[in-house]
Amino acid sequence: MTDPKDVIAGGRACLGIELGSTRIKACLIGEDPSVVLAVGAHDWENQLVDRLWTYSLEDVWTGLQAAYADLCTDVERRYDTRLESLNAIGVSAMMHGYLAFDDDDELLVPFRTWRNTNTGPAAAELTELFGVNIPLRWSIAHLHQAVLDGEPHVSQVRSITTLAGYVHRELTGRKILGVGDASGMFPIDSLTRNYDAELLSRYDTLAAKAAPGLNLSELLPEVLPAGQPAGELTAKGAALLDPTGGLRPGALLCPPEGDAGTGMVATCSVAPRTGNVSAGTSIFAMVVLEHPLEHVHHELDLVTTPAGDPVAMVHCNNGASELAAWVGLFSRFAAASGAVSASGAPLESDDVFNTLFREALEGAPNAGGLLAYNHLSGEPIADIPEGRPLFLRTPDSEFTLANFMRAQLYGVFGTLALGMRVLASEGVELDQMFAHGGMFRTAGVAQRFLAGALAAPVSVAATASEGGPWGIAVLASYASANAAGKELGLDAYLRKHAFGSAEFETVEPDAADVAGFAAYLDRYSRGLEVERTAINALSVE
């Protein structure tokens, strides 16, 4: 193996940066893309401003700079060398949302994230017009809702993009988007691997009266598949990423991608009959299709892999945040009570997570009749327009810590399971389902419950907790390899270079868990009416 210090000093490492919902992460890999050399991170949070979820662009850059600086510190600590140049860079971020810019590339309205659910009228009208499901969070739904609402800024819009596309533009000066991320802005034609020209024309005709002169094809970023060069790091971009001036420009950038696409890469699930589940602030499943779906379902998005192959996506706005909040409550109790680990040190957050996850294994297969709803924000698949997190039990429920924790873990997978059942009704079959995200770090718990929820084997790789940042670093490495003439298809590249020696731990579904989760989901479905009542009864100030 090449000495990592030499790789870094020689500018041969590849950097992946992903802007997630709660953390911005940086991941550095070497000439062997399966090996992570260094990592960095920065925590951040969205804000609810005027009833819309947003992040400020100032926070984007301070967060990116902090994550990159943290990575550089890790490099110096591990290898006693400075990170001054890079072979290739990839940027990924939360998919969807709305970033609209004027002629001078100035932001017209605050960034509207995927989490917003105010686009119902637009999404419904576009779904009927296109004959394709347009979810509330898609960029075209946000734009059209602004058109329907007569927002003054619409006449000034000259470009729209996603968060990854915006960061890429600032680093390279080019308005480009990877096809996977682009497929969450506007429907993609699977033959051309570009925006669907017929649907673009339909939209321009629809918008002509309310927004004269709006030409959607001129507003959207250029689309590129994985492996294509997407610009170079400019001097301005290098200074934005590293204000100390330590990073030199010139690195190749791959097409920017969404977190769904990087999750597929991070789990080696870009080929037909493979799929993955990514669990974080949101949770979603991506299933690569062999053939088109027969019907339109509001529970299913039609997107693509980073290479442009068709994918059915079950996207839930709410993932592990409510679970983490409960663990935080127990962490505070542990700290207040003076609890210590086996070594005598105060309990860390990971210790509390592990303890509570292990306790969940002792719970009843149906969680003892307890229910946990993780809806911090609206959840379209479950027909929940606003967030009202809820824990619910009846007098005859078995109220134990084990059942409580199992209910919380089941709750993370509840809405996802509703969507996956719709996909199964279309006859879609899977050979492999992979999972990644921090909640799978405790071996054999969340993975086992997900297998029970899906009634299918679930595999987790050693890189599962690195997830998307590693995935986009691999895409950067792939673009560099193709630029050097070593052209391979994305699936072949992943299997040969990124996962050639990877070990996966696979958990088969336990029959008791399958039956127990099915009982939980039936009760969960009926209890959604309580959620809707809470929305009507309790307003958010």
Predicted local distance difference test score (pLDDT) of residue 481: 94
Pairing of strands 310-316, 301-304: antiparallel
pLDDT digit string, tens, across residues 127-155: 999 999 999 999 999 999 999 999 999 99
pLDDT of residue 121: 97
Token look-up 């009864």 returns 537
Q: Which ranges constitute the DSSP H helices of 88-193?
A: 120-130, 139-148, 163-172, 179-182
Residues in the chain: 541
Q: Which of 416, 291, 441, 428 is nearest to 351 (CA)?
A: 441
Give residue 541's pLDDT. 67
Question: Of 19, 22, 20, 15, nearest to 36 (Cα)?
Answer: 15
pLDDT confidence bin for 466, thresholds 50/70/90 = low
Name the residue with tokens 């957050």. Answer: 349
Tokens representing residue 416 in the block: 């996802």
Report the distance separating Cα 3 and Cα 13, nearest Å.
Answer: 11
Mean pLDDT calculated for residue range 265-278: 90
How deeply is 292 buried, as exposed, middle or buried, from its count of CB atoms within 10 A (0-12, 13-18, 19+)?
Answer: exposed
Higher pLDDT, 439 or 29: 29
Q: What are phi and psi of 195, to 5 degrees?
A: -55, 145
The pair phi, psi for residue 287, each rounded to 5°, is -125, 120
CA–CA separation, 263 vs 255, rounded Å?
15
Angle between helices 511-537 and 446-454 (to 10 degrees): 90
Q: What pLDDT score does 311 carry?
A: 95
| Token duo for residue 293 | 């779906």
Contact 353, 442 (CB under 8 A): yes
Cα–Cα dist 69/67, whole Å: 5
Nearest one of 360, 370, 415 to 392, comparing CA atoms: 370
Measured CA to CA, the distance from residue 257 to residue 479 in angstroms comes to 13
pLDDT given for residue 525 in this prediction: 97
CB proximity list for 254: less than 8 A, separation 6 or greater: 88, 89, 90, 178, 226, 227, 228, 229, 230, 472, 475, 476, 478, 479, 480
Angle between helix axes 197-207 and 120-130 (nearest 10 degrees) is 130
pLDDT of residue 66: 98
CATH of domain 96-161+186-219: 3.30.420.40
Q: Which two tokens stand for residue 378?
A: 């609206």
Q: 76: helix, coil or strand?
A: helix
The model's confidence at residue 183, banded by pLDDT at 50, 70 and 90, is very high
Element (H, E) at 470: helix 468-483
d(CA 191, CA 179): 12
Q: Are 444 and 239 in contact (CB under 8 A)?
A: no
Q: What is the chain's mean pLDDT, rounded?
A: 94
Distances (CA, A) of 23 to 17, 66, 199, 280, 408: 11, 11, 35, 10, 22
Widest distance between CA atoms in the chain: 70
Sheet with 301-304, strands from edge to edge, namely 301-304, 310-316, 283-288, 274-279, 432-436, 458-461, 504-507
pLDDT, tens digit (0-9, with 9 covering 90-100), for 208-257: 988 998 999 999 999 999 999 999 999 999 999 999 999 999 999 999 99
Residue 463 pLDDT class (50, 70, 90 cuts): low
421, 298 contact by CB (below 8 A) = no
Res. 51: pLDDT tops 90: no
Instruction: Please give the full DSSP string across 326-348, using - where no structure is assigned.
Output: HHHHHHHHHHHHT-B-TTSSBPP
Please tell me the predicted confidence (pLDDT) of residue 247: 98
Axis crossing angle, helix 349-360 with helix 401-425, rounded to the nearest 10 = 70
Burial of 540 (0-12, 13-18, 19+ CB in 10 A): exposed
* Residue 487, pLDDT score: 74
- Tens digit of each residue's pLDDT (9 = 90 or more) over 278-333: 888 889 899 999 988 999 998 999 999 999 999 999 999 899 999 999 999 999 99
Return the exposure string of 11-36: e unless at least 16 CB atoms fall within 10 Å of the residue's CB, then b. ebbbbbbbbbbebbbbbbbbbbbbeb
Torsion of CA 105, 109, 113, 119, to 10 degrees: -120
57 half-sphere exposure, CB direction, 13 A CA radius:
18
